[in-house]
Amino acid sequence: QEFNQNFASGNYKAAARIAATLKSGLLRTAQVIQQFKSVPTQPGQTSAILLYFSTLLDYGTLNAIESIELVRPVALQGRKDFIEKWLNEDKLECTEELGDIVKSLDLNLAVRIYRKAKAGQKVLQALTELGRYDEIIEYAKESRYQTDYSFLLRNLVNVNPENAVKFAQQLLACDPPLVDINQVIDILLQQHRLQELTSLLLDYLKGNKPEHSALQTRLLEVNLLNSPQVAETIFQMDMLTHFDKPKIAALCEKAGLYQRALELYTDVQDIKRVMLQGGGKLNQEWTQQFFGSMAPDTCLEILTDMLRSSSQNLQAVVAVAIKFHTQIGTSRLIEMFEKFSSYEGIFYFLGSILAFSTDPEVHFKYIEAAAKLNHTQEVERVCRESKCYEPVRVKDFLKEVKLADPRPLIYVCDLHGYVTELAEYLFKNSLLKYIEVYVSRVNAANAPIVLGALIDQDAAEDFIKNLLQSVRGGCSAQQLVEEFEKRNRLRLLLQWLEARVAEGNQDPAVHNALAKIYIDTNRDAEQFLKTNAYYDSSVVGKYCEERDPHLAFTAYKRAWGSCDEQLVELTNKNGLFRLQARYLVERQAPELWAYVLREDNPHRRQAIDQVVSSALPESSSADEVSAAVNAFINAQLPHELIELLEKIVLHNSDFSNNKNLQNLLILTAMKADSSRIMDYVNRLQNYDGGAIAQVAMDYGLREEAFTIYKKFGLYGEAADTLLKSAEEGGESDLERAVEFAQRCNEIEVWKKLGRAQLNKGKVREAIESFLKAGDGDAYKEVVEKASAADAYDALVDYLLMARKKITVKDQVIDSELLYAYAKTDRLDEMDSFVSGTNTANVQAIGDRLFEEQHYKAAKLLYASLPSYSKLASCFVRLEDFSAAVDAARKAKNPKTWKEVAFAALSKGELKFAHTASLSLIVHPDHLDSLIERYEQLGLFTQLIELLEQGLQGERTHVGLYTELGVLYATYESNKLMDYVRQHSGKVNIPRLIRACERQNLWKEAVYLHMNYDEFEQAANCLILHPTAWTHELFVQVI
């Protein structure tokens, strides 16, 4: 009623407030909304319906009817922002109808409304249209809404095929899939969406799983039937392997995809059919690979069928054959081509593998095919370049086919040595032009063989000469001459030979042939042999031996060495020994001389006679004489050599003064006839005296050697000769050596004599010789030998000389000189020497003399050092104790004091002993031995006085006080008590106690025990020994 009143009065806002606040909601109806909508709107005022809705929104949420009525006009106005705001503030009640209203404005807002309204089908449709497929599936799961995905997919295919594929992919990607793949395929096929289907299946089948074999088959089948190019693309992707291969292979064959069909077929008949049907359309590279996957027998079978089917397949067949000839077998492939007489196939097939094959059959078949096809240039090339064909077979084939151009045959015969057969073939077939071409352009080196064959075929001489002129110098003259010579037609070459000589040809064969022709025709043969420098002497000489020996000698001699043996045999055979001898002398060849003078030469004597009697005497060449002499030496013909040399040296003025020949004569006589040597030595003047004498010595000819040395003034060597004999035991030779030395008075001789005398033990004589020679170098050996012989007086003179002669001072010389002075008691000279400059080891010599008891000499040496310890020892040995004490005082050595003290005591020199002992007792280590020595000599009083005096010195010690106490206890006990009371703190009390106990000095012992804090021992001593007892002392001890 209140509502109506306010509404009737026009207070629409109040009326709206009442409707909004009424809890029963009775006023929230369509009638009330219609009532407000019917109120006309005054200009400038807010409409009643707008006031109604705004009031409702202020007080809460609109119901379904209100939401629809509010949103519809707002949606028509496109005010999406208001709707979004109300949805965000939850002011609207969402219904399917409300979503439909908003859908036209904003599909996304509509989805929000459908979701709140739980209008599942509407949500799915809207999400599908938006392409938000993930949300579709997610929503379906969340809301558990039973969705017909196939229906959605079908609708989407019509609207957006691309999105439909994506949606289908997502549906299929779920686990489990939300739609059956076959349904998807059917939907796409029904809509003729082949492209989308292919895209979907390719994505779905990318795992290439065996369980998808049917789907793979269907995908390929659909595309092969509708779009073979797409199917080919799928094949190229190589992602499907589990499809039905026979079925797909048949479809590929129908679709014209022969390559794919062949890949999928496994039956040979199928492969043959496809290959014959589409082999010409296949890619050759692929075809080769395909055949490579087949068994060789199958491959050969298919290739055979391809050849049988059509000649158009030849290129493909050849390509496969080239590629797989190793697997199939080259010979089998050749047989296949031959079966169809396909020489073209053989030609192209073998032409490709020829460079890599060494099979003779391959090369022959290629040559045969090329010849059959009239490819003459290729036949020629292979015949020229190949090294693998069988020459005989190819040669016979080419001769049989008789090509118009015989060049292939020419190359075969030329390369493989069938030149004679080639020449005969060309000559018999009147191919003379090719003969000329061959010898002039192809291989002129074989011209001799060709010309020889032509001579055998009785060819015209003019033709042969023309060929020779065309060949000129292109062939081997040696071979050409041999070919003509063995056919006895050498004169045919005269013109050709002379032409070669005119060109400057130096080939020996050319000149040999000319020489033979000149010899046979008697055309100045001797002049030619002497002047021509190019012929071979061995060949021409051999040719002349039976015709004219003198011409043969001329030829051999001209060789000058290379035909020596032939020359010797020729002259031996024909008795030409004078010529032989002259040649030997002129040739000067050691090996030739050796050959002639060998022992098994039956003609040696005749040759020697001619050399000695005529050839060598006629010679004025020293080299020729030397060579001949050396030859006799090497041939070991000493007697003949002596005969030769006497004739040269003694009767030929040109060589009388030749040193080498004189040497040789003497040396040869040494070997062969020593009786002649002395005569030669005296008669000859220009021989090498030193060397000859040495050889004489080697031969044991000492007298001759001595004579030679004297003759040539080699006095040292002469002396050696005598001394060597003396060394072997000849005393007379040593005397001769002395006499010789006195006569020649040469320093070198005296030196050698001195050494020899020294070795013989003649020391004084040796020293005398050394002094005459002024040779001090052997001083070490002289010292040794003179010392052993006690020849010190001579040694002094030698060493004085050695000191002057030897520039480098040696300690040994000065030292031994000192020793020699001492041994000869020349002490003044020794003292003077020591005082001067010297390098002697004075200490060592002094010690040596001291050991040998030469104390006076040693004293002088020790004093010069000075060495006071050793000097004191010397004075002791000389019993000069005063000097000994002075030396010991300077030595400051306890060992020296001890030596002096003991020696003085032994000799009863108590004063010097006392002085020495005072310096000794200050050393505790020597005190006991000194006391012992005094006691041994019974010098007790002197000993006590010594120690008492020692206590007055500055270097006292415990041992000194103790030992004096012990001596008091032993020898003067009355002094002991006072002594121990005075010095008890300075003595070794235990030792002194033991001394008192030994001497029964108990009072002193008690006193020492008490001072040593040994009161118990003191008490025991008092109790046990009454002589020590006093009551007061005992009480004190207790």
Report the C-alpha gap between 240 and 604 in whole angstroms: 107
Least confident residue range of 494-498, 653-657, 815-819, 836-840: 653-657
Report the C-alpha gap between 712 and 1027 in whole angstroms: 114
What b/e string do you get for 146-157 counting C-beta neighbours within 10 Å, with b at 16 or more? ebebbebbbebb
pLDDT band at 144 (very low <50, low <70, confident <90, very high): low
pLDDT of 283 above 80: no
What are 750-761's pLDDT values in tens digits?
888 788 878 887
The chain-wide mean pLDDT, for the chain, equals 86
**Closest listed residue to residue 594, CA positions, set 569, 565, 617, 616:** 565
Q: What is the 3-state secondary structure (H, E, C) of 47-66?
A: CHHHHHHHHHHHHCCCCHHH
C-alpha torsion sign, points 588, 594, 598, 601: negative
CA angle 871, 876, 880 (to 5 degrees): 95
pTM attached to this predicted model: 0.41
Cis peptide before 866 (omega within 30 of 0): yes
**Closest listed residue to residue 799, CA positions, set 818, 826, 819, 817:** 817
Cα 750 to chain centroid, rounded? 65
List the structure tokens of 68: 């629809």
pLDDT band at 219 (very low <50, low <70, confident <90, very high): confident
- Segment 168-186 mean pLDDT: 69
pLDDT of 130 above 80: no
What's residue 782's pLDDT? 85
List the structure tokens of 606: 């005749």
Backbone angle region of 892, left / alpha / beta, with phi > 0 → left and psi within -120 to 50 → alpha = left
State the helix-helix crossing angle for 161-173 and 149-159, rounded to 10 degrees: 150
What's residue 8's pLDDT? 81
What are 565-618's pLDDT values in tens digits?
999 999 999 999 999 999 999 999 999 999 999 999 999 999 998 888 888 888
Inter-residue contact 783 to 795 (CB < 8 Å) = yes
What's residue 446's pLDDT? 92
Report the C-alpha gap between 442 and 450 in whole angstroms: 12
- The residue ranking higher by pLDDT, 423 or 249, is 423
Inter-residue contact 274 to 250 (CB < 8 Å) = no
pLDDT band at 141 (very low <50, low <70, confident <90, very high): low
Least confident residue range of 196-205, 529-538, 597-606, 782-791: 196-205
Rg (CA), the chain: 74
What's residue 137's pLDDT? 61
How many helices and strands, by DSSP H and E, does the chain display? 71, 0
Inter-residue contact 622 to 655 (CB < 8 Å) = yes
Which amino acid would we find at residue 686? N
What's residue 133's pLDDT? 64
Dihedral over alpha carbons 438, 440, 443, 448 (to 10 degrees): 90
Residue with tokens 């020889």: 452
CA angle 136, 137, 143 (to 5 degrees): 85
What are 430-475's pLDDT values in tens digits?
899 999 999 988 899 999 999 999 999 999 988 998 999 888 888 8
What are 770-819's pLDDT values in tens digits?
888 888 888 888 888 888 888 888 888 888 888 888 877 788 888 888 98
Percent of the chain with pLDDT over 70: 93
- Segment 86-107 mean pLDDT: 86
Residue with tokens 């030669």: 680
Report the C-alpha gap between 26 and 7 in whole angstroms: 15
Q: What is the 3-state secondary structure (H, E, C) of 350-398?
A: HHHHHHHCCCHHHHHHHHHHHHHCCCHHHHHHHHHHCCCCCHHHHHHHH
What's residue 653's pLDDT? 60
Cα separations (Å) of 899 from 401, 843, 862, 872, 893? 136, 20, 17, 9, 10
Report the C-alpha gap between 111 and 127 in whole angstroms: 7
